[in-house]
């Protein structure tokens, strides 16, 4: 490279930008060789662009591609959309947009919970074929041998191998976003003729917390916390 030659950095038209990467240094090492160093620590995605060297009417350019760090799974949230107490989805959050192919082998995904060595299988994948950072795995509900054991407090582990461009996902611990549901309600008549002394016991599928994750203070009377309906035997639907 000759003295007086200028070097310009240009972005390609794909929207990924080189110029947010800082030139660490640039300098001529021999009479016709310049070296330009980029610091890539700030690169969260792939970068591409070109460098053009120009002297007068003479110029040339070279394309540069910097491969960003691999995508990783940041969270896998459990869900119980129909509120029956059994997990029916996992919401996967990745560090940046990726693609979940629709032909991904669902059988290769392993979702387990230690209680009773429970395993879940995937029914379908929401958002497959699109590029996104959030995908939903719809699970087949697994009620196990004892259908009274509800799952809203479970934290399964997820292994999802072979997703292109994504760091291997192995034994990943899920987060709980399945809200508690009412598991049972029983009533005991303590004093005949004094029904206001009836004891009604409501059992939830897991401890109930407030929005900050603290124990709920049941300082409010039941009439504030619960809605009650009276069942009329003469009506078919109560």
Burial of 13 (0-12, 13-18, 19+ CB in 10 A): exposed
The Cα 159–Cα 169 span in angstroms is: 5
34/204 with CB nearer Ca ion: 204
88 belongs to the binding site for Ca ion (CB under 5 A): yes
22/209 with CB nearer Ca ion: 209
Binding pattern to Ca ion, positions 43-82, x when CB under 5 A? -------------------------------------x-x
Closest contact distance (angstroms) between CB of 75 and Ca ion is 15
113 belongs to the binding site for Ca ion (CB under 5 A): no
205 belongs to the binding site for Ca ion (CB under 5 A): no
The Cα 132–Cα 27 span in angstroms is: 40
The CA-based angle 46-50-51, given to 5 degrees, is 130
List the one residue from 64, 77, 176, 181 that touches Ca ion (CB under 5 A).
Answer: 176
86 belongs to the binding site for Ca ion (CB under 5 A): yes
- The answer to whether 99 and 82 have CB atoms below 8 angstroms apart is no
What does the DSSP assignment read for 69-94? PPB-EEEEEEE-TT-SSS--EEEEEE
156 belongs to the binding site for Ca ion (CB under 5 A): no
The Cα 75–Cα 60 span in angstroms is: 46
* Residue nearest Ca ion, Cβ-based: 88
175/198 with CB nearer Ca ion: 175
Structure tokens at 89: 């989805």
DSSP state of 193: T
How many residues bind to Ca ion according to rule CB under 5 A? Answer: 9
Closest contact distance (angstroms) between CB of 141 and Ca ion is 6
Binding site for Ca ion (CB under 5 A): 80, 82, 84, 86, 88, 152-153, 176, 178
């Amino acid at each position: 490279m000759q003295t007086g030659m200028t070097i310009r950095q240009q972005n390609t038209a794909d929207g990924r930008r080189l110029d947010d990467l800082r030139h660490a240094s640039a300098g001529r090492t021999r009479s016709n060789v310049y070296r330009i160093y980029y610091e890539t620590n700030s690169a969260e995605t792939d970068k591409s662009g070109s460098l053009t060297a120009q002297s007068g009417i003479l110029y040339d350019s070279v394309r540069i591609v910097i491969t960003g760090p691999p995508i990783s799974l940041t969270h896998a949230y459990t869900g119980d959309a129909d509120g029956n107490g059994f997990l029916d989805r996992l919401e996967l959050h990745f560090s940046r947009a990726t693609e979940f192919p629709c032909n991904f082998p669902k059988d290769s995904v392993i979702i387990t919970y230690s209680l009773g060595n429970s395993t879940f299988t995937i029914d379908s994948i929401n958002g497959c074929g699109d590029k996104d950072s959030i995908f939903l795995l719809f699970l087949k509900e697994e009620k196990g041998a004892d259908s009274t054991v509800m799952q809203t407090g479970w934290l399964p582990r997820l292994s999802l191998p072979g997703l292109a461009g994504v760091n291997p996902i192995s034994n990943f611990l899920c987060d709980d976003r399945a809200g508690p549901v009412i598991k049972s309600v029983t009533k005991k008549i303590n004093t005949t003729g004094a029904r206001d002394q009836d004891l009604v016991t409501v059992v939830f599928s897991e401890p109930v917390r407030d929005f900050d994750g603290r124990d709920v203070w049941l300082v409010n009377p039941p009439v504030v916390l619960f809605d009650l309906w009276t069942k009329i035997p003469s009506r078919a639907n109560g």
